């Protein structure tokens, strides 16, 4: 239903891999490279030119790379000058600005807004309506839930820009604000609607406005069992690379011995 | 200005009622049924295929039903497999996922994001930028204000999904997060930017982070008069079915004797 | 790349200035006036008809004025009946409803939602995903950060609509809710995720849920120096009209002697 080649425009300077489907009304601008077996749905813009384009006659669009297996849902806008690892996927109406770097297997939910100049590791999942300010630096297997906001200006407005950092496996729940330069360790859980500044150790449960470390996440009991759900990779494996062998085996083979 | 039949695509497998207007650049996919006297504005997608479509050659789009009098504003995306009662209306850029069920006379504001597998009664009004997670269950005459978020995973990430429930006539103010499995009774008022878990009786005024029941809404005085504005159906009737006869008469005829 | 005149529709009743570029798939409706040297990117709707259009055969689109130097990024929807000063710019997917009034040099970020019947002075910058309810009144040089929400109904739902007011040079940080009729003075700083009702003097630092005045912003020290960053116009001048001469000189010439 979606791939009828109606009103599709692909730049002659774009490189499209094998077995790539491109939806109706989609535009692919100059110097976009799309890997094999990708799906770009309808009404998308890939390689959106950066600001200079409008004012510089010699403008050349920076290279945009979507590696193999990308799946971009409709109405998304991806700026030129970003690099996305394998199997990158988005919901609808996502906006991703220039100089963003994503590892493999990342997912970005509907209406999320990535401001550019950010760095994500592998297997990060951002749900709907997440806002990531510039200079944020996020590890691997970090999940961020709706309406979380990552900020970067400690004294607005100013010319200072210091984004938050988040360690591997940490979870940032809905409606949370990370203040500029916040440092969240590995395996942390930041509770819903928290206002978080400062630096937190690995395994912290961080909650409140203003947020504090309440306890170690390993002490949190599950509702249904007497065991802790955290560190979550031992309890949750759907679509994770340890789905079949378990986290314990996987981590030893993959450089996460200490997690 | 909007209905020039430019760049409109309607599946041969869609059923369009009488006196339906369809805006430019809109797409209606397979097995969509649109009731009489409906308006689907420009740049909409109705019957957006669910995920299997991309990977299953035998895919058949599930039925999508918009009953009589629908009014879908531009750039909205409605997935296949949902059912909408009469006079359903949306703002712009709304996203509604599959297996959503809405009663009659519901309205969804601009950029709202309904994640699917939800159930709404009649006459619910969602303002702009509301996020409703899966498995939420909402009664009749519930109003939800901008940036409210309904969540469903108590220990993220997990395979548990328990949405909130909200009783008839309750109001969920701006920026509020309902935690998984929260139960809000009838005629409650949840104040702005509250973080709400647990179970609340009918007529509760619920406020804070974390939220608590502060008092009975019937004790709340109006700013301008010495009377309480709540239960609000006695004070507010614009576009409500009791607009002409008053809530007292209406409720006796319509099965709300106890409200 | 964007200006190929593909699928562009411009009403014969629109007036387009000199040196205006209009992107592919954009629609300009009746009675829109666009000033010289403007850029309207792709997939925009300018002069979106108000509600009566759908139900009144004699409907005439109200006048929409974008003065010289407008720069509207893609997928934005601007309703008919609003007036925008010089150099007005937007991000992507902005929605601006009717009867909005903006001064010169204002900027509105991606996905922001202006509900109409609002008034902004000059040089206001709204970042991504700001929601401004009807009847809000904002001064000059006011910056509003992502996910801030301006509300207007003190007892929802009701027929009362009293928006917040914000004085010149004030800053409203991320995730903040301004309650109906809130009055923020000049040069205030409202901290992230605050819930703000009531009236605040000039130079207030306002923080918390519920928010309180914590101190005078002039007492706030910068992280890096021992001096206060506020009033910020003395410390920040990028793209401000005092960029070259400094705030002290500029203010004396421009009617801000007391700031």
CA distance A157 to chain C (A): 7
Mean pLDDT in residue range A206-234:
91
* Closest CB to A177 among C91, C175, C223: C175
- Average pLDDT value for chain B: 96
Rounded mean pLDDT of A202-224? 92
Q: Is the pLDDT of residue A221 over 90?
A: no
Name the CA radius of gyration of chain C, rounded. 19
Contact A110 B111 (CB under 8 A): no
Give the best residue of C6, C27, C148 to mutate against chain B (max B CB count within 10 A).
Answer: C27
Q: What is the ipTM of this complex?
A: 0.96
Question: Scanning every residue of chain C, which has its alpha carbon at the shortest distance from the alpha carbon of A193?
Answer: C193
- The CA-atom distances, in angstroms, between C198 and each of A109, B215, C163, C207, C213 are 36, 21, 12, 13, 11
Contact (CB, 8 A) for A32 and A15: yes
Q: Which of A51, A96, A98, A50 is nearest to A70 (CA)?
A: A96
Judged against a pLDDT cut of 90, whether residue B172 lies above it is answered with: yes
Q: Report CB contact under 8 Å: A151, C128.
A: no
Contact A143 B159 (CB under 8 A): no
Q: Of A119, A113, A146, A23, whose CA–CA distance to A74 is shortest?
A: A23
Percent of chain C with pLDDT over 70: 99
Contacts of C143 in chain A (CB under 8 A): 156-157
Residue B68: both structure tokens together: 């009589």
What confidence tier does C232 reach under pLDDT thresholds 50, 70, 90? very high
Report pLDDT for A117: 98
pLDDT(A22) > 80:
yes
Report how far apart the first and last C-alpha atoms of chain C are (Å, whole number): 45
pLDDT at B224 over 80: no
Contact state of B232 with C45 under an 8 Å Cβ cutoff: no
Give the model confidence (pLDDT) of B45-100 as tens digits. Answer: 999 999 999 999 999 999 999 999 999 999 999 999 999 999 999 999 999 999 99
Whole-number Å distance between alpha carbons of A192 and A213 = 14
| Facing A93 at nearest CB: one of C93, C147, C222 | C93
Percent of chain B with pLDDT over 70: 99
Nearest to B7 among C7, C77, C195 (CB): C7
What is the rounded distance in angstroms from the CA atom of residue B117 to the CA atom of residue B98? 7
| Domain assignments of chain C as residue spans, ordered by start | 9-227
Q: Minimal Cα–Cα distance from B1 to chain C, Å?
A: 7
Q: Which CATH architecture has domain A9-253?
A: 3 Solenoid (2.160)
Residue B258 is predicted with a pLDDT of 81
- Tell me if A223 and B154 make a contact (CB, 8 A cut-off): yes
- The residue-averaged pLDDT of B209-236 equals 90
Q: What is the mean pLDDT of chain C?
A: 96
Query: Which of chain B's residues have a Cβ under 8 Å away from the Cβ of C174?
Result: none
The DSSP bridge pattern shows strands C165-166 and C137-138 to be parallel
Tens digit of each residue's pLDDT (9 = 90 or more) over C189-219: 999 999 999 999 999 999 999 999 999 999 9
What radius of gyration, in Å, describes the C-alpha atoms of chain A? 19
CB < 8 Å to C129, chain B: 129
* Residue B211 binned pLDDT confidence (cut-offs 50, 70, 90): very high
Return the pLDDT at A259. Answer: 79
Whole-number Å distance between alpha carbons of A70 and A89: 6
pLDDT value of position A197 = 98
Q: What's B63's DSSP letter?
A: P
Domain C9-227: CATH superfamily is: Hexapeptide repeat proteins (2.160.10.10)
B93 closest CB neighbour out of C25, C27, C93: C93
Name every residue in B having a CB less than 8 A away from some CB of C: 1-2, 4, 6-7, 21, 24-25, 39, 42-43, 71, 74-75, 91-93, 110-111, 125, 128-129, 143, 145-147, 171, 173-175, 189, 192-193, 208-209, 220, 222-223, 229-230, 232, 235-236, 238
Which residues in chain B are closer than 8 Å to A92, comparing Cβ atoms? Answer: 77, 95
């Amino acid at each position: 239903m979606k791939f009828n080649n109606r009103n599709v425009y692909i730049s002659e300077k774009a490189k499209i891999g094998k077995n790539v489907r491109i939806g109706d009304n989609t535009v692919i601008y100059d110097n976009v490279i799309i890997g094999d077996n990708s799906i770009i749905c309808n009404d998308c813009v890939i390689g959106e030119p950066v600001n200079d384009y409008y004012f510089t006659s010699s403008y050349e669009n920076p290279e945009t790379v979507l590696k193999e297996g990308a799946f971009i849902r409709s109405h998304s806008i991806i700026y030129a000058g970003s690099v996305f690892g394998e199997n990158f996927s988005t919901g609808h109406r996502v906006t991703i600005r220039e100089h963003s770097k994503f590892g493999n297997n990342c997912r970005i939910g509907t209406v999320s807004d990535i401001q550019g100049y950010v760095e994500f590791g592998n297997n990060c999942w951002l749900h709907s309506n997440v806002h990531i300010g510039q200079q944020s630096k996020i590890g691997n297997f970090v999940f961020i839930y709706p309406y979380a906001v990552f900020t970067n200006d400690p004294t607005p407005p100013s010319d200072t820009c210091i984004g938050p950092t988040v360690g591997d496996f940490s979870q940032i729940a809905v409606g949370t604000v990370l203040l500029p330069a916040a440092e969240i360790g590995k395996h942390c859980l930041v509770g819903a609607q928290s206002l978080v500044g400062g630096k937190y150790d690995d395994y912290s449960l961080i909650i409140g406005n203003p947020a504090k470390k309440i306890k170690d996440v390993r002490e949190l009991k599950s509702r249904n069992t007497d065991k802790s759900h955290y560190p979550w990779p031992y309890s949750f494996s759907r679509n994770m690379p340890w789905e079949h062998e378990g986290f314990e085996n996987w981590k030893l083979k993959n450089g996460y011995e200490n997690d």
